[in-house]
Amino acid sequence: MEKNIRILIYEDNKDLREGMSFLLQATEGLDLVGAFPDCRQLKEQLSSLWPDVILMDIDLPAISGIEATAMAKAVLPEVQVLMLTVFDDEDRIFQAIRNGASGYLLKHTPPSEIIDAIFDIHRGGSPMTANVARKVLRFFREESRPANDYHLSPRELDILRGLMKGFSYKLIAEDLDISIDTVRSHIRSIYDKLQVNSKTEAVLKAIRERLVD
């Protein structure tokens, strides 16, 4: 039987944090492992709670959600960060993606769509509010340019194709008949060569620069 998805919330608005907590606790297939008003103890919390998905606000006290996203990915590279915020300006959107966020929703998103987004991001998707997605696509259309040679190996290109299809590490490993540890090693190399910090950023760069067929 498939394990429940472990969810961690960082949200400083008490009413919203409690409302989201209630929603997640009432949803089959999800386990809420923690809900906190700030990220001051983020590293310790991640190391003890081991979430699969983090719901991250941006405007948090002391440490912003964008900064905390990079910290979270450094501690748990496989954790998926879903930004849940009121901000839809391009600077914050792309800072969040560059720091490792895999999804970006606005807080007016209906609760049912937030739940769907959690399952989607855990499967390897990159859920975004429509307005945000349009800005991302517009940016990459405007910045589109011929492919660069990043010296990606044939195996790294295979794995990059898997990421672009939304495959999980496990599914990529099964598809290529290699171990998950080998997939992780190749993905670290891909990130290093492409100079990115997240799956979403790698996929967007691959699309923009036409790195794979």
pLDDT of residue 58: 93
200 has pLDDT over 70? yes
First to last CA, the chain: 36
- The pLDDT mean for the chain works out to 88
Structure tokens at 190: 């891909």
- Which tens digits make up the pLDDT trace of 119-150? 999 988 888 888 787 777 666 655 554 455 68
In a shared domain, residues 25 and 129: yes
In a shared domain, residues 134 and 61: yes
pLDDT of residue 143: 54
Whether 136 contacts 187, CB under 8 Å: no
- Which tens digits make up the pLDDT trace of 181-198? 999 999 999 999 988 888
11 has pLDDT over 70? yes
Helices vs. strands in the chain: H and E counts, helices first: 10, 5
| 12: CATH | 3.40.50.2300
Range of the domain at 88: 5-140
pLDDT of residue 115: 95
CA angle (35, 94, 132) in 5-degree steps = 80
pLDDT of residue 137: 67
Whether 161 contacts 171, CB under 8 Å: no
pLDDT of residue 98: 82
DSSP track, 163-186: HHTT--HHHHHHHHT--HHHHHHH
Whether 129 contacts 88, CB under 8 Å: yes
Q: Does residue 71 fall inside a structural domain? A: yes
- Which tens digits make up the pLDDT trace of 80-123? 999 998 887 877 888 888 888 989 999 889 999 999 999 999 98
In a shared domain, residues 99 and 19: yes
Whether 131 contacts 88, CB under 8 Å: yes
Residue 38 Cα to chain centre, angstroms: 19
Task: Place 211 in a pLDDT band, splitting at 50, 70 and 90.
Answer: confident
| 174: CATH | 1.10.10.10
- How many domains in the chain? 2
